[in-house]
Structure 1
Amino acid sequence: MFITDVSIRRPVVAWVMSLILIIFGGFVFWELPVRELPDGIQPPVVQVQVDYKSASAEIIDQEITQKIEDVIGGAEGIKNIDSTSLNGRSSINVEFNTNIDLDDAANDIRERVSRVVDNLPSEADAPQILKQSAGFTTTMWVALSSPTWSDLDLGDYAERYLIDVFSSVPNVGRILVGGLRELSVRVWIDPIKLAANDLTIQEVEGALRNENVNLPAGTLEATNKDLNLNIDKSYSNIESIKQLPIKKSKEKVILLSDVAEVEFGPVSEKTLFTAQRKNALNLKTVGIGIYAKSGASTVELSKEVKKKIVEVNKALPEGLKLEIAFNRATYVGTAIEEVYKTLIIAFILVVAIIYLFLGNLKAVIVPAVALPVSLIGSFLGLYLFGLSINIFVLLSFILAIGIITDDSVIMTDAIYTRIENGETPLVAAYKGSKQITFAIIATTLILVAVFLPLVFIKGIAGTLFRETAIALSFSIIVSSFVALTLSPMLASKFLIKKPKNNFIVVGFDKAFKSFSTFYLETLEFWINKKKTISIFIILILAGSVFLFNYTTKELLPNEDRGSYLIIGQTDEGSSFEYTKDKAQQIENRLIPLLEAEDSPYQRLIMRVPGFGRSSTTYNSFIIIALLDDWKNRKKDSQTVMREAIGKIVSLPETLAFPISPQSIRVSSYNKPVQMVIYGSTYEELEGISNAVINKLRSNRNLSRIESDYTRNKPEVKLITNKIRANDLGVSTENIG
């Protein structure tokens, strides 16, 4: 082959081509994003979220959810729409096909929602359009804690300074604050004093809105000067707010302090975030959740956030401490590090085996040099196809080591055999390479034809193995190129005929020859027993099919990710205080496990209410149990979780259960089976749903069977006497 001949006659050409592969491959290696799994495991999802405080789920559904559903239903590439109407919030998840660009989908949904914004209730917040992808879970939780500061001061400091600081970190997509008790001015109106002064709530609210403004008042023109006039609000502290005039009566001006108590307080008291760790319990804590942008590297983002935390800690006021409470990149980095170790071990084993068979140290140099050149050059393929460094890609490299070494070994063996027969290294390289070139090209095409079709598999399996197929195919092509250029050039320079003198190699050679003799004798014995061999093969095939049907099948095995979650809820309609008390009881049961001498626990993080759909229902909570580093504990996460399960599930009047997080969440909380039930009315839907649930619960192999449709939240219905209200001059809006 021409390129092989040139490489042998002009060694510089082979060296330059190999150096190009090494330099560019090494350069793009540092540019490739690092993540746990291939991008696109979860399909692109756009979430439309609208908050309407104090509105019931029925009102949310009628006034917001249905209107938005109608207008976004025609967007291109929609796979399904999942809508949830909760008290105070409408959440619509629009899932698109995997071939749809997330940014284009979000822009399309944003444009469609803007058409109906004017038709939504004026009291509702503006719709939020959020992009979700494979990395839509929080990458990190950062805890701001203090033994001396109040939770109000912590929340105010985090909101004023830290949110903007972390938002500026590259590849940060969104910031979520947990346990934030946002500082505000709270006005507690006394209804008796209000009635005594002949005032209504609307008048007090109107006075607060009209007085708390900054307005331009035009300009004042004078000789040689133009002055801007501003009517500035004069309410800059609690005392000035208390003096705000509400209404003038015949005798005096009624002030806000005459009918209300004014004080600083949180916007909402219905939120709690705690981060318990050894020797630091019950500190006032605010959590800052950091989301990675779609497609961003989890590991790189973690490194940048760690650098920012070091900078921020230097400038924090006395009594404050900022630290990482949860870092998803820890598991990702550890898992990828283990794969790198396996890669190195595989390389060493391959080189050792080649040495044992060839018995010539210089002969080992050829495949030993060709192997890293092929692997490093393969990173160019990842970069060109827009892939990332993840566990599946690295596992494909481990698999590729044995495959890509074959080409160089075959080339080296062909040349070395000719050298042993008396040819010079240069002649042997020239003739041996010609002899083996067609075989290398043929095996390359066959292997590519085997792996490349994996690209066309659909669904999650296709997404997982697409990058594996591309990485393997490209590495095989690169290895063939190296075997046809670098390997024969190195063989012509380094290979010499040398007897096997090393006692290890000699011993291995004797053992191998003995095994070969044994194999030949065994083969001669069995080769004529056709019926016995045929029956044996049939039994093996039948047994394999039988065992396959009874073998557990799953997309990915259970993993020790260094943590487990506790998902809990109380009865529908439970107050925040009641739910908080139940959550703290479970936390108190786990704290002795945290403080034990050989405790595998590192930290407990609790949030009330929970995340996601549960974030607006005060009867939910979540506890994240973070475990020590894998090398510092003897028990895996499943064992630790089983030991704690009795303390978790036995709390009365509370439904709480631990789950082990997985790499791929096929649904909420890793429930593998879901079904959608249709009905013409909610009453019919509820009846069908209850019947299906009762039927499913008769199957003992199923657990945690739940429906996302509930109508159990207690409420008080106000029935207005329209005639009486009209006589009193009170409208339904005023009553509301």
Structure 2
Amino acid sequence: MRLSALSIERPVLATVATLLLMLFGVLSFSRLPVREYPDITFPIVSVLTVYPSADAQLVETDITSVLEDALSGVEGLRTLRSTSREGLSTIGLEFALSRNLDAAANDVRDRVARVQHLLPQGIEAPLVMKEDSESDGIMWLAVISDRHSELDITDFAQRQLKDRLAPLPGVSSVVLDGERRYAMRIWLDPDRLASRLLTVQDVEDALRTQNVSMPTGRIESTQREFSVRMGGGLERPEQFNQLILAYRDGYPVRLQDVGLAEIAAEDERKLVRVNGKPAIGLGIMKQSKANTLETARAVKRTLPSLEALLPEGMQLVTAFDSSIYIERSLHEVYEAVALSVILVVLVVFLFLRSARATLIPTVAIPGSILGTFVLMQATGSSINTITLLGFVLAIGLVVDDAIVVVENVYRRIEQGLSPTEAALEGSREIGFAVISTTLTLAAVFFPIIFLPGIVGRLFSELGIAVAGSVLLSGFIALTLTPAMCARLLSRTVVAGSPSAGSALDSSAWLQWLTRRYRAALETALQWPSSVLLAALASLAVSGLLLWVLPSELAPLEDTGWFAIHVNTPEGSTLDYTDRYAKDTERTAARIPEMDSYYTVVARGWRPTQVTRAVTWVTLKDWSDRDRVQREIVEEVEPALSAIPGASVFALNPPPFNQEDSKTPVQLVVRGPAYDVLDKIMTQVRHDTVNHPALVNIESDLDLNKPELRVDINRDKAADLGIPVETIGRTLEVFLGGRKASMFMREGKEYPVIIQTQPHHRGTKSDIDRLHVRGTQGDLIPLSNLVSLSETVAPKQLNHYEKLRAATISAGVGPGSTLSQSVESLEQIIRTHLPPGASISYAGETKEFKESSGNLHFTFVLALLVVYLILAAQFESFRHPITVLVSVPPALAGALLALLLFRGTLNIYSEIGLMILIGLVTKNAILIVEFANQLRQDGRPTQVAIVEAAALRLRPIIMTTMSTILAALPLAMATGAGAAGRWHIGLVVINGLMLSTLLTLFLVPLIYTMLAELRWRGPVRQVKETDRPEVVALKPTQS
């Protein structure tokens, strides 16, 4: 080839070209972002609207439906979901991967602003956040102290810590968990109020009118000027207690006569503990498109400065950190890359037995890998576990082309040519095969650009890494490799007399193997039925295993932590839920591998859900424990499931940083009415009891939340001149608490909240103590105006794509896979699905379903693209068939290995299968191309194919060994992220071994058969006189 000839003539030019690739690659590598996975997080924008004291149905009709109508047409919207529950509307908008998060958030804000005038008065302004409102945070810090109160800790965290963490890059918000915010609590006694003829409105009016501080102007004279401010604001509890509410019989009635003012927590309906100790948590919520690793690193860099601010007696600890797994997983892959390089160089040296000869293909590794970083930076890729796994496999591939060139140059040297002549002739002969194999492997990843969603993003970055490395290795094999061969290799053959050994025939076994292979191939050509039978068997096995092998989105990884969830029945109190949370803490403390645990009771955004709790259990380092996370969870799960009175279960983190509080199996049922959906959910829960493939079955639709209904006698209230609003405000103050005004403390404003004392609102009969004032000024017992009845109400009302919906979720049963569990649950649901109802997928199930269909299409498309490219290269529609017959054996070997070692079809194993298409065709291309050259020289078809296969055996074995050894660290992976690496390594190694074995016989046979279709000549046995002399080589001196 001209490029090779130019490189041999000008070796400095070839060297400089490779050095420039390496130089710019190093610069690009330093600028590439580092993350766990490619950017596969869908942009998510959440809209939260607080509607104090409103029930779920009112929130649904007055807020959620109004906002959904406005938001449904936002550009790039993928999924629209909403939840309406008591006091809160939550709308989640998931956008396409290509949608810019900031632009999407701005569009959402604009549309919310357009309809804000349609929303009811009394709500808090809708809050638009660039995060998933249901996410748990990537990191939790905790402040603990034995000397400071929770009020002081909360105030310090709010003033000093939160404001320093919130501006960090990637942080969307910092959430205080278990907080106890300062408030002036006005505890009222309804009996004492009534005895002094006072009502709630009297107290509220006094606080509003007497607790004021305002500017009143200024005094100006000819010389001086004074600003005037009226200092009427109350700041201390004793000042509030002395506040005069009214006069009775000439005596003042003060606040302390009807209640008590004290500084206390604004809300105490949430608990946080670290290793059983009370704490205040700070949750780091990342933006939905932010890099988890970079965000966590920014937080960790800030920690020393935060610790320096802590008062004596306070301690800031990291209670939970999901980035530790990412760090370790990347570290493990870096180690796999290094080990692969060592193994590949070692196998090359063992075959060549010369340091100088080994250097030639070894140079392709840094040249092609580093050069690929330039392409990655140009395409916006990142350094992540997927691209690094691609590099592990690429290390075995990038030396292949150089090995093939070196082997062919050696063959020419042994025939008597000088190193320079051999380099010119050898690179010319093998150049087309190098280009064909390089383009074929790169072509495998071309169809990936058509893949949408998570799988498309994963595969595209992998394709850039692998295809870029292979393309650059092909360039180096045709430029620098011939130039180095001409300079570093020496003559090993003297005037046609064979030497005793060869650098390529590193031992007698390879010569023996070549002779035995030639004889076996000649026999196979005489008895083609056995080879064809093996090929057909591999095709049948592949099809059968693709059908029967269990599948899932991704294998379960040992992330170093898991979560224990507690869901108590609706109507449960905070104390009731906390008792179960303490049970989970005791379970966590008994785990030998436990390092720490972090518990939150009453999870969720305000108003908090007191029926939910979670304990995050962090395990010891991977090197410090013998059991993996899955085994630990399987051990504790039975004990947790047996706890009566609540739903308690352990949950492993889902793949690809998805929401970890949701079980993997999620199906959404949409229907015309909630009572219809509730009936479906009840039937499904009944049918899934003790189902082997399903555990922890739950539904988010619960229409049986206990509720005390207050019905107002409107006619009677109107006769007495009492507005309905007054009755509602009275109930709100006594039962829920109401902010009346603000007070100052250390330069900051805090709320003044009036509410009845806790022991006066423990039963429904306490409402009888409340009074309102009529038009005549007399007090009217509230019991005369309202009637009470116990009923049930929805806990929350859900919409999916604006339709009423219920999501039923479940965990994967022991010994089952995600595909089996999803199929089982879907079949059960469909048996109870009435007309007008439909099923959709959510969460991990949705991604799994989308990825499965897309991958099957892409696999077929990849085969078609490879076929067409090979047809163009060979200028034949027959030779590509010969090459592609090596694919079914590869699939059979890979799938059989998955079956034997209990693997699954998942994204990682399917990545391996895609790469196998390119890998196994390389060997076939070498044989076919060399056979074509021999036929062009006049050799008969059978002679040409046998000779080509025998001469290509050595480079095929070398390239196959290098690829297998490069993948060996993946197949032997342990520690963080090992499951995914293990699947790729298992597929590549076993598929390549079986395919190589069969390809050496199947490709020559198919080549001959296709030739016979054209020439109709008989298959004849190859005679000794047809064989060209094979000359052995001596090892070169290093």
Residue 609 of structure 2: aligned partner:
617
1:565 aligns with 2:558: no
C-alpha spacing 1:184/1:358, structure 2 compared with 1 (3 Å): same
Residue 18 of structure 1: aligned partner:
18
Q: CA RMSD in A?
A: 2.9
Q: Distance in 1 between matches of 2:230 and 2:361?
A: 82
1:633 aligns with 2:625: yes
Note the 1:164-563 alignment, pairs <5 A: 164-247=163-246, 251-276=250-275, 282-421=276-415, 423-497=417-491, 508-563=506-561
Q: Deviations over 1:134-153 (max 9, x none)?
A: 99652211121123322222
Q: Distance in 2 between matches of 1:321 and 1:656?
A: 31
SS of 1:703 mapped into structure 2: strand
1:643 aligns with 2:641: no
Amino acid at match of 2:599: M
SS of 1:95 mapped into structure 2: strand
C-alpha spacing 1:431/1:217, structure 2 compared with 1 (3 Å): farther
- In 2, are the aligned partners of 1:88 and 1:616 still within 8 Å (CA)? no
Q: Distance in 1 between matches of 2:306 and 2:439?
A: 55
C-alpha spacing 1:234/1:668, structure 2 compared with 1 (3 Å): closer
Q: Distance in 1 between matches of 2:136 and 2:18?
A: 41
- In 2, are the aligned partners of 1:414 and 1:432 still within 8 Å (CA)? yes
1:662 aligns with 2:654: yes
Q: Distance in 1 between matches of 2:169 and 2:620?
A: 29
Q: Which one of 591, 595, 600 corresponds to residue 602 of structure 1?
A: 595
C-alpha spacing 1:432/1:231, structure 2 compared with 1 (3 Å): farther
SS of 2:603 mapped into structure 1: coil
- In 1, are the aligned partners of 2:15 and 2:480 still within 8 Å (CA)? yes
- In 2, are the aligned partners of 1:44 and 1:133 still within 8 Å (CA)? no
SS of 2:303 mapped into structure 1: helix
Q: Which one of 693, 708, 723 corresponds to residue 731 of structure 1?
A: 723
Residue 576 of structure 1: aligned partner:
574
Q: Which range moves more in the overlay, 518-527 or 69-78? A: 518-527
C-alpha spacing 1:723/1:535, structure 2 compared with 1 (3 Å): same
- In 2, are the aligned partners of 1:51 and 1:90 still within 8 Å (CA)? yes
SS of 1:274 mapped into structure 2: strand
SS of 1:582 mapped into structure 2: helix
Residue 31 of structure 1: aligned partner:
31
- In 2, are the aligned partners of 1:217 and 1:229 still within 8 Å (CA)? yes
Residue 678 of structure 1: aligned partner:
671
| Deviation at residue 319 of structure 1 after TM alignment | 1.5
- In 2, are the aligned partners of 1:43 and 1:133 still within 8 Å (CA)? no
Residue 279 of structure 1: aligned partner:
none
Q: Distance in 2 between matches of 1:506 and 1:583?
A: 67
- In 1, are the aligned partners of 2:144 and 2:280 still within 8 Å (CA)? yes
Amino acid at match of 1:619: T
1:64 aligns with 2:63: yes
- In 2, are the aligned partners of 1:414 and 1:436 still within 8 Å (CA)? yes
Q: Give the alignment's TM-score, normalised by structure 1.
A: 0.91
Q: Which range moves more in the overlay, 644-653 or 361-370? A: 644-653
SS of 1:607 mapped into structure 2: strand
Q: Distance in 1 between matches of 2:520 and 2:413?
A: 33
| Deviation at residue 353 of structure 1 after TM alignment | 1.8
Q: Distance in 2 between matches of 1:386 and 1:134?
A: 28
Q: Distance in 2 between matches of 1:22 and 1:530?
A: 49
Q: Distance in 1 between matches of 2:648 and 2:130?
A: 30
| Deviation at residue 630 of structure 1 after TM alignment | 0.7
Equivalent pairs counted in the alignment come to 723
Q: Which range moves more in the overlay, 653-662 or 697-706? A: 697-706
Q: Deviations over 1:426-447 (max 9, x none)?
A: 5544554444444333332222
Residue 708 of structure 1: aligned partner:
700
Residue 773 of structure 2: aligned partner:
none
Q: Deviations over 1:632-673 (max 9, x none)?
A: 001111111122224322222111011111223489613324
Q: Distance in 1 between matches of 2:100 and 2:16?
A: 40
| Deviation at residue 107 of structure 1 after TM alignment | 1.2
| Deviation at residue 184 of structure 1 after TM alignment | 1.8
Q: Deviations over 1:440-481 (max 9, x none)?
A: 333322222222212212333223212112222222222223
- In 2, are the aligned partners of 1:356 and 1:505 still within 8 Å (CA)? no
- In 2, are the aligned partners of 1:336 and 1:391 still within 8 Å (CA)? yes
Q: Deviations over 1:388-428 (max 9, x none)?
A: 21111111111212222222223333444445555554554
Residue 993 of structure 2: aligned partner:
none
Structure number with greater Rg is 2
1:586 aligns with 2:584: yes
SS of 1:730 mapped into structure 2: coil
| Deviation at residue 36 of structure 1 after TM alignment | 1.7
Note the 1:106-125 alignment, pairs <5 A: 106-125=105-124
Q: Distance in 2 between matches of 1:479 and 1:202?
A: 82
Amino acid at match of 2:636: A
Q: Distance in 1 between matches of 2:414 and 2:531?
A: 39
- In 1, are the aligned partners of 2:134 and 2:604 still within 8 Å (CA)? no
| Deviation at residue 368 of structure 1 after TM alignment | 1.6
- In 2, are the aligned partners of 1:181 and 1:271 still within 8 Å (CA)? no
Q: Deviations over 1:101-156 (max 9, x none)?
A: 22222111111111222332332222111223799652211121123322222222
Q: Distance in 2 between matches of 1:139 and 1:685?
A: 34
Q: Distance in 2 between matches of 1:134 and 1:437?
A: 57
C-alpha spacing 1:122/1:212, structure 2 compared with 1 (3 Å): farther
C-alpha spacing 1:502/1:672, structure 2 compared with 1 (3 Å): farther
Q: Distance in 2 between matches of 1:709 and 1:421?
A: 80
SS of 2:227 mapped into structure 1: strand
- In 1, are the aligned partners of 2:419 and 2:485 still within 8 Å (CA)? yes
- In 1, are the aligned partners of 2:18 and 2:476 still within 8 Å (CA)? yes
- In 2, are the aligned partners of 1:49 and 1:128 still within 8 Å (CA)? yes
Q: Which has the higher contact order (CA 8 A, sep 6+)?
A: 2
Q: Give the alignment's TM-score, normalised by structure 2.
A: 0.66
SS of 1:462 mapped into structure 2: helix
- In 1, are the aligned partners of 2:405 and 2:430 still within 8 Å (CA)? yes
Amino acid at match of 1:369: V
| Deviation at residue 579 of structure 1 after TM alignment | 0.9
| Deviation at residue 12 of structure 1 after TM alignment | 4.1
C-alpha spacing 1:2/1:543, structure 2 compared with 1 (3 Å): closer
Amino acid at match of 1:669: K
| Deviation at residue 343 of structure 1 after TM alignment | 1.2
Q: Distance in 2 between matches of 1:244 and 1:433?
A: 99
- In 1, are the aligned partners of 2:46 and 2:133 still within 8 Å (CA)? no
Q: Which range moves more in the overlay, 184-193 or 694-703? A: 694-703
Q: Which range moves more in the overlay, 517-526 or 373-382? A: 517-526
Amino acid at match of 1:335: S
Q: Distance in 1 between matches of 2:134 and 2:246?
A: 54
SS of 1:716 mapped into structure 2: strand
Residue 128 of structure 1: aligned partner:
127
| Deviation at residue 313 of structure 1 after TM alignment | 2.0
C-alpha spacing 1:652/1:9, structure 2 compared with 1 (3 Å): same
